[in-house]
Structure 1
Amino acid sequence: MSDHAAHVSAETVRGNGQGSGRRRGGGKGDRVMVPPAEFRSYYGRPIVKPPVWTHDVAAYLFTGGLAAGSALVAAGADLTGRPALRATGRVAALAAVGASGYLLVKDLGRPGRFLNMLRVAKPTSPMSMGTWILTAFGAAAGAAAVAEAAPYLPRRGALGLAARALPTAGRVGGLVAAGTAPALATYTAVLLADTAAPSWHEAYPRLPFVFAGSALASGGAAGLIGAPVAEAGPARTLAVAGAALELTATHGVEHRMGLLSEPYRTGKAGRLLRAARLLTAAGAVGALVGARSRAVSALAGVALLAGSAATRFGVFEAGRASAEDPKYTVLPQRERLAARGDA
């Protein structure tokens, strides 16, 4: 921390009701002459640099999770003989990862920057690892989705050979995509926690669980929307389990990080996360009670998708808010200094 930031930290806490304000006279009950501290930095700028990412990144967080969850649903359906659920999961995974690639390139500014990131693999960089994970997942998910065209190809000639080979290639691609899915679902949480935004950084033990639960809920939701109820059992189970994990982990982020939980409960982020909680809970209940109704299952899936999206956007907004307000940098620093001094 710079000398000026240290000075701001000390002065901020010194005037924050700690009993060190200057009083007139000295008798009991005299009026405090020092006004309440204002949390600000040099020229009113934030102490840490706020993220420069746009809402395209928040949408990328959602589509990446949807792709990962859908791939897991598709692989399970393939192994248990549920063709409609398998097709739904594979198509949803390909569409979502395609949207993720578009959003990532849009944020980077031009496709060449994405390709340049593939020139090296840097294990210590979440962005570098994420680029490779997205690329590997996209190739595998694409192979799995293309295999769904096999029944529509002619049975003679070169296309006939392709039609006979596609199911095997699709299964391999689907299993590879499912194996990569956990990394795709959670690497974005590591990416956020690796920044200087205080409420993202402090949430590093819990944020991967939030994103994993959100991914499972959204993947299960896609299965509930696209598959008949006779085949949607695994998607239903995955959706409910993911919703439970998402709600539990989000509650921890909102209430168990002291002051740095506040941005998750207030402002735009708070409104989004409250809406996410209602939508996710309603979707989980609908998934349970709608086991015999295609309409109820589809509505539950829509609610779960909307809840997953609201969770990602809420987390995104909370991190930005914590970086823009100096108190979320100053007070935790002061608490850590005091704890070290007591030790």
Structure 2
Amino acid sequence: MSTSDVTKQGIRGERPGRDARVGAGLRRRKRRGERPMVPDAEFTSYYGKPIINRPTWEARDIAGYFFLGGLAGAGSVLAAGAHFTGRPAAARALKISSTVAVAGSAAALIHDLGRPERFYNMLRVLRPTSPMSVGSWLLGAYGPAAGAAAVLDVTGLFPRLGRSATVGAALLGPALATYTAVLAANTAVPAWHDGYREMPFVFAGSALVAASGLALAAAPPAETAPVRTAALLGTAVETAAMTLMERRLGMVAEPYKKGRAGRLLRAAKVLSVAGAVGGAALGGRSRTAAVASGAALLAASACTRFGVFYAGLASADDPKYTVVPQRERMFSRRAPGSGEEGD
């Protein structure tokens, strides 16, 4: 008999070894020392194209926009502190630098947009759900406040209005220094999007490093004691946030450690530590040491912003940084106990 039949008495003509084995071979556990017969999959796409579109932003414009915005925002916070604690030279230097930096930041953004009227068009409507819209309005509000604070400080006119402008710029400064992190994390670029938790702290620490460096380089050493402390704080915040982000992202953090981005970020760590420690140890006694430490801190902040920018581009170019995390999230949702198992 070549077939089997199911009768009331049971299975007639059953052939041993022919039973279906449900799930056999699906999740074969790899034994120790066993060599896989099938090589690991390579994540590619049609015609070698990336899975997501690479950002068309230019590094000079957008990474420069990130850096200058952070310098301006943190600078206004430090300027207000210097103004109200009797450090006029430091306050004036920070107010002027913040005004110049925000002007450069806006110019870089407008240059990236292609036509100046596009920036104006973004101010026609405020969309709270759009980081770019909120950022444009933030620039539009912060710029006049920072400019008025600097001009009134230099001319000595309307001191009360100057104090109000200083306070207004300081209140808007933290948002200006960090909203670009939200802007980057709002994209589909894996290295930026997946780092949304820590990225604002990285940018805040980097901004404080830059502003502290400028104050060290431009102000007399006698007025820079709080700035030297701020440099240490900014370095600690930036380093800790970057370390936590790389640890949490796992494989997606690879672009932050390799290639141009890796070199820039390693340089940023060395320069920020050297500048902060040098400024704390020698910046109050030697003008030369203060200038050198300030320059190192400014360079460190610029390296951080450009390093983050290039890491995002590298993660967009390689499909695995998009595919692997998606698959891991999908499998974790299907895992037993997740409440989303398939039938």
TM bracket, shorter-chain basis? 0.7 to 0.9
Paired with 1:247 and 1:170, the residues of 2 have a C-alpha distance of 35
Alignment of 1:110-259 (within 5 A): 110-151=115-156, 163=157, 165=158, 167-259=159-251
Q: Report the Cα distance in structure 2 between the residues aligned to 1:304 and 1:335, rounded to whole angstroms.
A: 39
Look up the match of 2:6.
none
- TM-score, normalised relative to structure 2: 0.86
Q: Alpha-carbon deviation of 1:250?
A: 1.3
Alignment equivalent of 1:42, drawn from 46, 50, 53 = 46
**CA distance change for structure 1 residues 225 and 335 in 2, over 3 Å: closer, same or farther?**
same
- Say if 2:108 is the partner of 1:106: no
Greater gyration radius: 2
Alpha-carbon RMSD across the aligned residues, in angstroms, is 1.7
State whether residues 253 and 264 of structure 1, in contact with CA within 8 Å, keep that contact through their aligned partners in structure 2.
no
User: What percent of counterpart residues are identical?
Assistant: 53
CA contact (8 A) 1:276 1:306 kept: yes
Q: Is the 8 A contact 2:181 2:196 kept in 1?
A: yes
Q: Could you state the TM-score of these two structures normalised by the residue count of structure 1? A: 0.86
Across the two proteins, how many residue pairs are aligned to each other? Answer: 306
CA distances 1:270-307 after superposition (whole Å, capped 9, x unpaired): 11100111001111111111121111111111000000
Q: Structure 1: 5+ residue runs without aligned partners? A: 1-17, 22-27, 152-162
Query: After TM superposition, what 4+ stretches of structure 1 lie above 3 angstroms from structure 2?
Result: 18-21, 28-31
Q: Partner of 1:317 in structure 2? A: 310
Q: Please, which runs of 5 or more residues in structure 2 have no aligned partner?
A: 1-26, 339-343
In structure 2, distance between residues paired with 1:31 and 1:287: 55
Matched residue of 1:71: which SS?
helix
Cα 1:44–1:295 shift into 2, 3 Å: same
Structure 1 contact 240–284 (Cα < 8 Å) conserved: yes
> CA deviation digits over 1:76-118, x for unaligned, max 9?
1111111100111101100100100110110001110111111
Going from structure 1 to structure 2, the CA distance change for 1:47 and 1:31 (only over 3 Å counts) comes to closer
Q: SS in structure 2 opposite 1:124? A: coil
Q: Are 1:72 and 1:219, in contact at CA under 8 Å, matched by a contact in 2?
A: no
Distance 1:30 1:228, change over 3 A: closer
Counterpart position of 1:261: 253
**How many Å apart are 1:236 and its aligned residue?**
1.3
1:255 shift after superposition: 2.6
Instruction: Report the residue type matching 1:317 in the other structure.
Output: Y
Alignment of 1:324-343 (within 5 A): 324-342=317-335, 343=338
Alpha-carbon distance between aligned partners in 1 of 2:113 and 2:242, rounded to the nearest angstrom: 29
Cα drift, residue 171 of structure 1: 1.2
What displacement does 1:199 show?
Answer: 1.1
2:296 to 281, 296, 303: 303
Q: Which is further off, 333-342 or 289-298?
A: 289-298
Amino acid at match of 1:46: P
SS at match of 1:257: helix
**Conserved? CA contact 2:185–2:193, under 8 Å:** yes
Structure 1 residues 331 and 146, CA gap change in structure 2 (3 angstroms): same
Equivalent position to 1:69, from 74, 88, 95: 74
User: 1-side partners of 2:235 and 2:289: how far apart?
Assistant: 17
The structure with the largest helix share of the pair is: 1
